[in-house]
């Protein structure tokens, strides 16, 4: 067998399951209004992950999670369903962090 005929290495497994690159999503029902404080916390969490796409969806409105004003403009109030869609590196961890912010009790 010639020296340069080594078999090719096996491809690396996908980052997070068979549909790597597909967004992960979760829906939550808000226990409180989505006002400035949680919107700011979400924007800060999103800003720490520049290579990840994070969107919040409430009804027919969509918001880039990096924008406090866009998140607040969703107009989501207590009892509203908000979907979080995350695609990119560390998507499951980011999703969990944002869900925790949305479900945290009022201080």
Point out the residues that are catalytic.
35
Task: Tell me how far apart the alpha carbons of residues 31 and 97 are, in angstroms, rounded to a whole number.
Answer: 16
For residue 82, how many other CB atoms are within 10 A of its CB?
22
C-alpha closest to that of 25 among 96, 75, 78: 96
């Amino acid at each position: 067998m010639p020296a340069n005929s080594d078999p090719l290495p096996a491809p690396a497994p996908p980052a997070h399951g068979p549909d790597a690159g597909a967004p992960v999503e979760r829906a939550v029902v808000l226990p409180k209004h989505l006002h400035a404080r949680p919107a700011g916390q979400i924007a800060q969490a999103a800003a720490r992950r520049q290579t990840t796409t994070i969107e919040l969806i409430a009804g027919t409105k969509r918001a880039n999670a990096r924008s406090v004003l866009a998140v607040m403009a969703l107009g989501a109030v207590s009892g509203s369903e908000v979907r979080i869609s995350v695609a990119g590196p560390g998507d499951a961890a980011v999703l969990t962090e944002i869900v925790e912010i949305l479900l945290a009790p009022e201080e």
